[in-house]
Chain A
Amino acid sequence: MNLRGLVLRTCLVVGVAAGSGGPGATPARAQAPGATGGDEDLPKIRITPAGGDLFRLALPRAVGDGEVARQALDTETRDLDISGIFHLLDPDSFPADLQNEGLGFSSALWSQVGAQGVAKIKATRTGSGLEIEGRLYVLGRGEAPVLSRTYRAGDGRDAVHQFSNDVVGYFTGQPGVFGSRIALALSGKGSHEIISIDMDGSRSQVLTAMGSDCLLPAYAPGGGEVAFTSYLRNNPDLWLVSAGGGRARRISKHPGLNTGAAWSPDGRSLALTLSYEGNAEVYRINPSDGGLQSKLTSNPAIDSSPSFSPDGSQIAFVSNRAGSPQIYLMPAAGGGGKRVTFQGRYNQTPRWNPRVDKPVIAFTGRDERGVFDIFLLDVRTGKIDRVTQGKGSNQDPTWSPDGRLLAYTSSRGGIFVANPETHHEVQVWRGNGSSPSWGPAPRR
């Protein structure tokens, strides 16, 4: 009896304990998924990182005066394409509702064509030129424009460039460089003068009338003058010409080479290659009178193609002191020379990115197949990245004034502009030209 009672009592105690755990736990379990409503303990699904795509921007038909509106849209399309940060949607894919929406915006409709943003313009002729009303809408930012501004300019292109610059500025935090100029030396048949073009290839202007071979132009930091080498006096002398063209003046006429000039960021010096002492070395001269400031290299090898760092403290240059042309760095005061490229057997034309926060040098490298392409050297890490590949031979890079784009010549013909981050590339000018130099936008 005692034994039976003890067993029964034990089972009862255990049963109660178990029972108290069960019902007590049941509400808790029921609460965990639904009743608490907390988002912290949701089951997590991690999406495999996506490939990148450019921001999908729609540019619908421009509103306003027929032909003027069409031209304005063409300019805007080209600008935003060159920026390399947008995937411009095919305007033919937009239904009529969207084409005729005017300057208004319906995010629901635009999301159906896959747009992430829409840039709209209205072009109107004014007495003194053109007025552009620009609107930028971004899906997910409501129905109101994130940018709405009116631009006026004598030349309609300038008004559109201003809007394009603001659109780029909205996305990158830094306005675009539309309207800036690229100087280049004509080559091939015909005259070999220095010309300049808008960075979209338009509005070309011949700057020189030397009647002889001109090469290696270099825009001054302020964009007021262009230095170049000409054989007018049967020697490769250094000349300066106004960025607007006109009579050139000779500033360096040492016997032998006076070539490959690069302006210091403050505009007070020109670094260039001179060979009057017998060997090609890098020197600094005064741009106003050509007076020698200092000799920067002194080496039995050939030293050439200098390029200043944006803070003016260092100079990148090319030397074959290790046997083949490679990129070296030295202090801007000269002396020494530290080799910085160890990949490739033929690296030349270093161009330092003008952004102080981005110590990167673009250069032309010849790969193992003998093809020239554009590469980037990270000065901090020594890492080299490739910008062009598998599209002809590409040479002579030059940075846009904001350091976001690169222009270069290509065996495909003419000048190409690429965004080195996205590898988006656009041919901006078709013709025979060499050694482009990208300068700032002129004051209009």
Chain B
Amino acid sequence: MAREKKRRAPRRNFAGLVITLALHAGILGAVKIAHSKGDEPLEVPRDFVIAKMVKLGKPREKFWLPRITQPPRPTAPAPVIKVAEDPNAAKAPVEAPRPENPTISRDLRRALDRARKLEQLIPSEPEEGQITGSASGTAAEASEGDAYATAIHDAIRKNWTTPEGLINDAQLARLTATIKIRVGEDGTILETKLLRSSGNAFYDDSCVTAIQATHKVPPPPAPVRRIAARGYAIEFPGKDMK
């Protein structure tokens, strides 16, 4: 009897090992099935980070008066009204057109021709990237979700301007409006809905107008059609998030 028991002991240990392995395999399988992404839509990134690099150049002396960092806005379209005149000012004599100096003109023409020829000799280097890339793109490759969201971003942004003069910089920094859009299979914006107002009607208008002016974005690729049809929350911050 004792010998019989001793012979059965290794068999029992083997069975226990098999049961343990089976249990582990089963649990791992169940976990995998439970987290399967079979019919889940693609996850779309929620945010973009736009990099800004400091311009190459010399730092400005601290004791110098500042310069306008952005170029001044061009003056309005050709004025339809004459600027008022000084009553004291004498009428300026009308100057007759000067005859063209043939020597200068010929030299100038030659120099321009030479410059044009030189320009053609130097092959311009094409920008590295993709022909379907974004003008403001920075990455060498984009994932599917990112690429389409970027296409929407670019399409809307080029139509968006904030109403300068009606909202100052300090106010702008505090404003953010969020607008929902739904996109059809052909890229048509099917719905525009103000989800969160900025609190400033002119600012909200500028955001809504940007989407209305966009009207159509590139058609969504098949994997993101469901997401596009459900909608995106387009966030319009007044200033860059620091």
CB pair A422–B149 under 8 Å, yes or no, is: no
User: Known interface pairs A10-B19, A48-B136, A85-B165. Does A201 touch B239 (Cβ–Cβ under 8 Å)?
Assistant: no
User: Closest chain B residue to A343 by CB distance?
Assistant: B65
Rounded to whole angstroms, the CA-CA distance of A8 and B124 in the bound complex is 71
Rounded to whole angstroms, the CA-CA distance of A388 and B65 in the bound complex is 12
Within 8 A of A (CB), among B139-161: 149, 152-153, 156-157, 160-161
Chain B residues near A (Cβ < 8 Å): 15, 18-19, 22-23, 26-27, 29-31, 33-34, 36, 39-41, 44-48, 50, 61-68, 72-73, 75-77, 79-81, 83-90, 136, 149, 152-153, 156-157, 160-166, 168, 172, 178, 180, 193, 195, 202, 205-206, 208-210, 212-213, 226-227, 230-240
In the A-B complex, list the 6 residue pairs whose CB atoms are closest, starting with the nearest: A431-B86, A52-B164, A201-B84, A190-B88, A18-B30, A85-B165
CB pair B81–A74 under 8 Å, yes or no, is: yes
A414 CB, min distance to chain B CBs, angstroms:
7
CB pair A46–B48 under 8 Å, yes or no, is: yes
User: Known interface pairs A22-B33, A189-B88, A431-B88. Does A55 touch B26 (Cβ–Cβ under 8 Å)?
Assistant: no
Chain A residues near B (Cβ < 8 Å): 3, 6-7, 10-11, 14-15, 17-19, 21-22, 25-26, 29-30, 33-34, 39, 42-55, 73-75, 77-78, 81, 83-90, 111, 114, 116, 138-140, 171-172, 186, 188-191, 195, 197, 200-202, 204, 206, 342-345, 365-368, 373, 375, 384-386, 388-391, 414, 419, 421-433
Q: Which of A44, A84, A430 has its CB near the most chain B CB atoms (within 10 A)?
A: A44
Rounded to whole angstroms, the CA-CA distance of A368 and B40 in the bound complex is 63
- Which listed residue (B33, B45, B168, B231) contacts A42, Cβ 8 A? B231
- Which listed residue (B67, B81, B231) contacts A389, Cβ 8 A? B67
CB pair B64–A29 under 8 Å, yes or no, is: no
User: Closest chain B residue to A188 by CB distance?
Assistant: B88
CB pair A53–B161 under 8 Å, yes or no, is: yes
User: Known interface pairs A45-B232, A78-B81, A88-B77. Does A33 touch B30 (Cβ–Cβ under 8 Å)?
Assistant: no
Chain A residues with Cβ below 8 Å from B30 are: 14-15, 17-18, 21
- Which listed residue (B48, B63, B87, B239) contacts A49, Cβ 8 A? B239
User: Known interface pairs A46-B48, A47-B153, A423-B68. Does A39 touch B195 (Cβ–Cβ under 8 Å)?
Assistant: yes
- Which listed residue (B66, B88, B193, B210) contacts A384, Cβ 8 A? B66
Chain A residues with Cβ below 8 Å from B45 are: 43
CB pair B90–A189 under 8 Å, yes or no, is: yes
Give me 8 A-to-B residue pairs in the complex whose CB atoms sit less than 8 angstroms apart, sorted by A's number: A43-B227, A50-B210, A52-B162, A55-B202, A85-B164, A186-B86, A343-B65, A430-B84
Q: Which of A48, A116, A422, A433 has its CB near the most chain B CB atoms (within 10 A)?
A: A48
Chain A residues with Cβ below 8 Å from B172 are: 52
